[in-house]
Amino acid sequence: MTWVGRETGRDGSPPSGGGLAIPYHPIRALVSPYTWLAITHLLSDFWFGLLSFTSVVTLLTLSVSLLPAALLGVPVFVLTAYWSRGLATLERARFHLTLDVAIDSPPPPDRTAPPLRQVGRLVISPSTWRQIGYHLLMLPLGAFTMTVTLACSALPVALVLLPAYNGALPNGGANLGVFRVHGALAEWVIALVGLGLLLGAPSVVRGLAIMDIAVARALLGRYSSRELAERVGELERSRRRVLDAAEAERRRIERDLHDGAQQRLVALAMTLGRAKARYGREPDSIGTLLDEAHSEAKQAVAELRDLTRGIHPPVLADRGLDAALSALAARSPVPVSVTVDAPVRPSQTVEAIAYFVVAEALTNVAKHAGAHQASVLVQRVGDTLRVTVLDDGRGGADASAGTGLRGLADRVTGVDGRLAVDSPPGGPTTLTVELPCG
């Protein structure tokens, strides 16, 4: 059996998760439930197109007509954009229900952005205009698919059954336009022609369904060619920034080891050498030297512990975000409350990014915000881990300025997450990060 729709294996086996699966064998196709589901889908095209076309055209016309009247058309057009988005969601569900074909949704709106910015992005988004175009196209396209589907399914059945009812028709037989069917021979010849058309009907249905899927994926899918190119470009730029940040982090670790722990260990070795040299000559001074060596060793261990904590804290891997963030808050000079509501632990990568987001945010709060208190809230909402850091400082933070927040944004976008900063002058400052963890 050969399957059509999503990508198939080399042996023609169905892909995982299903897909449009109409067999190529004509007899199997006639009795396959996938064929009848596809027919149902194609027949419903017109009715969905009628709903979407009339509603979208009505809203667009209303928004244009009200535009001169104190810009009243603007909120109507915003309503049109949201209505179009809802219809597109309904259409993707229809494809999944009848054809078992998944059409990826465009990226969801950035809920961390201010409401007016969310609305503006929705209105100018290319995906919104593609969805509106799809709804306008669906009425003529649906009329075409419904007409062809009815013709290729109902007409062959009527011809195959002609011998059973031809004698009961008025005027002595069926009128096929160019001639009238009389006699058993003519009836069975027409029935054989109908059988041939019936066996070929699944191929027509398959072609129409493939066309339907292609149109829906092009107009309702995640990215257009231009958006995909922009997305690839942004990922390349983000990748370069992440590599630059990793190189800077490597140099920082090297510098910290050289200037910190290495110097401590050198001093420790020298102190032990002096103690060894005085062992036989000045035994009374050895105790003082050993105390110095012990102090140097403890300071070296503390510096190494701080360094490794900055790379990846062991408590994060052992006990999760709650314990790691609580330890982070305990070391902060600004009082910090931590709330973690994530019953299911995300992946180690997502946990690490969330940890370093909070660490960088609390560092900024302590250094620049002049805050008296801060709070950290971590929530798992569906397949998204949302991290919110709030402080009552002076505000004025800008995610596009400086390397700290920009580095956080690169970490977050590296896993398809989002970062937003709301920091009006005078405060408060809210940093919100959403990380996919599905």
Which stretch of DSSP H or E encloses residue 354?
helix 348-364
pLDDT at position 117 is 76
Average pLDDT score over the chain: 75
Asked if pLDDT for residue 7 goes beyond 60, the answer is no
Range 331-353 average pLDDT? 84
- 110 within 8 A of 419, measured Cβ to Cβ: no
- 169 within 8 A of 154, measured Cβ to Cβ: no
Asked if pLDDT for residue 381 goes beyond 50, the answer is yes
Percentages helix, strand, coil for the chain (3-state, rounded to 5) are: 65, 10, 25
Confidence category of residue 48, pLDDT binned at 50, 70, 90: very high
Asked if pLDDT for residue 136 goes beyond 90, the answer is yes
Which pair of structure tokens corresponds to residue 367?
Answer: 């250094």
Asked if pLDDT for residue 227 goes beyond 70, the answer is no
pLDDT at position 141 is 93
Confidence category of residue 140, pLDDT binned at 50, 70, 90: very high
How many C-beta neighbours within 10 Å does residue 100 have?
A: 18
pLDDT in tens, 49-62: 999 999 999 998 88
Asked if pLDDT for residue 27 goes beyond 90, the answer is no
Asked if pLDDT for residue 429 goes beyond 50, the answer is yes
Which of 177 and 125 is assigned the larger pLDDT? 125
Amino acid at site 43: L
How many C-beta neighbours within 10 Å does residue 392 have?
A: 17
DSSP for residue 106: P
pLDDT in tens, 179-207: 666 656 666 777 777 777 778 788 888 88
Q: Which of 155-164, 301-310, 359-368 has the highest mean pLDDT?
A: 359-368
pLDDT at position 11 is 38
Cβ contacts of residue 151 below 8 Å, gap of 6+? Answer: none
Q: Which has the closest alpha carbon to 397: 417, 420, 374, 372?
A: 420
Asked if pLDDT for residue 220 goes beyond 70, the answer is yes
Largest separation between any pair of C-alpha atoms in the chain: 136
Which CATH architecture describes the domain 319-436?
Answer: 2-Layer Sandwich (3.30)
The three-class DSSP label of residue 386 is strand
Cα-to-chain-centroid distance, residue 79: 24
Q: Whole-angstrom Cα distance, residue 385 to residue 438? A: 9
Asked if pLDDT for residue 368 goes beyond 90, the answer is no
Range 373-385 average pLDDT? 86
Could you tell me the pTM of the whole model? 0.52
Q: Rounded to the nearest 5°, which phi and psi values hold at 376?
A: -125, 125
> In Å, what is the CA distance from 343 to each residue of 213, 321, 375, 385, 387?
38, 11, 20, 11, 15
Range 20-24 average pLDDT? 74
Range 229-235 average pLDDT? 66
pLDDT in tens, 63-116: 888 877 657 778 888 888 889 999 999 999 999 888 888 887 776 666 556 777
Q: Whole-angstrom Cα distance, residue 176 to residue 153? A: 17
Q: Whole-angstrom Cα distance, residue 420 to residue 145? A: 45
pLDDT at position 9 is 38
Which of 264 and 99 is assigned the larger pLDDT? 99
Asked if pLDDT for residue 3 goes beyond 50, the answer is no
Which of 375 and 156 is assigned the larger pLDDT? 375
DSSP for residue 280: T
Confidence category of residue 139, pLDDT binned at 50, 70, 90: very high
pLDDT at position 146 is 92
